[in-house]
Chain A
Amino acid sequence: MMKTGKTCLLIMVIFVALGYCLSDHGLAQQTAPPAKAKEAQAKPQPDKVVAAPQNIRESSRIYVFVGWMWVSIAVLIYFLRLKIQEADRLYAARFFSPDRK
């Protein structure tokens, strides 16, 4: 159980670190310089703004992130299922029950 826990923790740390590297720090910085903002204001407004990745780099990052996320979820579910089985076994054996002591 301890070994599984440590392995689980290690894999989680690896996935979190990988995710952080891929994430490009999310919304941490506002990159548009003032000149660019002025230019954008001068442009005529389009009828509809479609939400989408701004360039090929961002779109590949997003799709890689979604794939990585589902792999992480699958790995985490695998370990959580082991945890559940262990917790259920201990509960069935009345391991934490006060009358067992």
Chain B
Amino acid sequence: MNIKKVSAGIQAWFEERLGLSAILDFMKEKEVPQNKHTIWSYTGSLILLFFGIQVVTGIMLAFFYKPTLELANKSIGRIMTEVPLGWIIRSVHFWSATFMIAIVFVHLLSIWIIKSYRRPRELTWMSGVFLLVLSLAFGFTGYLLPWDDLSLAATKVGTDIPRSIPWVGVLATKFLRGGDDISGDTLSRFFTFHVCILPLCILAVLCLHVYFIQKQGMSLPLGAEEKGEGRRALPFWPNFIWRETIVWLVFSGLLITVAVFLPPSLGKAADLMAPAPSGIKPEWYFLFLFQTLKIFPPKILFVNGDTIAVLVIFAGVLLFFLLPMIDDKPEERKGKIITLCAYLFMIYAVAMSIWSLLD
């Protein structure tokens, strides 16, 4: 039988059922604007790459991980010492999370500075902020799973933060912990969030985010039309995809190299009765928030300092979420001040993180 005929037959069979040619036609017609900010377009797909790596390595780890007080730490220890290449799978999972969150920050900051959230892309930005919050929630819930001294103490501090919120704070802390204090219920709760609830949420928001991007197309930077940069574009398929493949290859290589040479270690199993170890620090992406909470005095005008700090952080997140609505005149003075705020935020986050590390 002719191979070409068979392959054409298989292709026709799938085409009739799935209509894949429509997707290919869409990809061929889709164009990516070419300008000095095009480099930032690669960050979106890189996030997807690292998310995919985390899903795969996370499933591999879940084959061996046991979310109980007695076995959580031991099972991670077993993954690292007995399972063939288990330590490297854990390391890739750990580092891909770090890379992903770093690139999510870069992606959002670049959009903030280029002002790609301008009308009609407000929903794309909002879904992106949701994805950032979900990524941070992944990091927070995953941090407890090794169940060592440091992860227990950091989770105690982290779950205690919502307590300062008026009216709903105590309930939120109880909900996160599955009781008044951290226990085995907290561990199984965090595990369920980490492997079931958050992946479902992130998939749903990711689908929406990608849909919004496809619907609205990729935006041009502010003022690009006037500079004549509006007409320059590259076809998504194959010109942009080949370029994107190079970026994926380089970052995959970097991830594996870092994972091999800097694997995370595992502390001894957490003891619920033991006092908290000194120098508790959260993961790097929470450091600036952690330090922000620390700089507030215990009392400000008869109000608890923690409450004010948490409310200030919440207000900041809300402003960040509503940025496209606030920055409604990007070309004007207000828009320029908002761009300046992006740079100030970056300086603040880096300075606070360094302060927290040195503290």
Contact = CB atoms under 8 A, between A and B. Distances in A.
Interface of A: 24, 26-27, 29-32, 36-37, 40-41, 45-54, 58, 62-63, 66, 69-70, 73, 76-77, 80-81, 83-84, 87-88, 91, 96
A60 to B, nearest CB: 12
Contact of A80 (B87, B234, B246, B260): B246
B60 interface: yes
A49 B238 contact: no
B263 A48 contact: no
B91 interface: yes
Contacts of B83: 27, 30, 32
Chain B interface size band reads 35 or more
B45 interface: no
B256 A49 contact: no
Contact of A84 (B63, B82, B89, B239): B239
A77 B84 contact: no
Nearest to A28: B84
B85 A37 contact: no
Interface in B309-333: none
Contacts of B28: 96
B90 interface: yes
A84 B256 CA distance: 26
Contact of A48 (B238, B252, B266): B266
B88 interface: yes
Contact of B84 (A29, A40, A51, A88): A29
A48 B265 contact: yes
A51 B263 contact: yes
A40 B175 CA distance: 36
Q: Looking at chain B's contact residues, is the secondary structure mostly helix, strand, loop, or mixed?
A: helix
Contacts of A77: 246, 249-250
B257 interface: yes
A83 B85 contact: no
Contacts of B30: none
Contact of A83 (B80, B234, B242): B242
Interface string B38-74: 0000000000000000000000100110000000001
Contact of B268 (A47, A73, A80, A91): A47
A70 B260 CA distance: 13
A52 to B, nearest CB: 7
Given A49-B81, A51-B263, A84 B268 contact: no
B245 to A, nearest CB: 6
A26 B85 contact: yes
A83 B82 CA distance: 43
B38 to A, nearest CB: 14
Nearest to A31: B84
16 contacts: A24-B84, A26-B84, A27-B84, A30-B84, A46-B268, A48-B266, A48-B267, A51-B87, A51-B88, A53-B87, A54-B81, A62-B88, A69-B253, A80-B249, A83-B242, A91-B235
Contacts of B268: 45-48
B243 interface: yes
A33 B199 CA distance: 33
Given A48-B265, A48-B266, A52-B87, A80 B81 contact: no
A52 B87 CA distance: 7
A84 B80 CA distance: 41
- Please list the 10 inter-chain residue pairs (A to B) with the smallest Cβ-Cβ separation, ordered nearest first: A51-B263, A51-B87, A49-B266, A32-B82, A87-B239, A84-B242, A73-B253, A49-B77, A73-B249, A50-B265
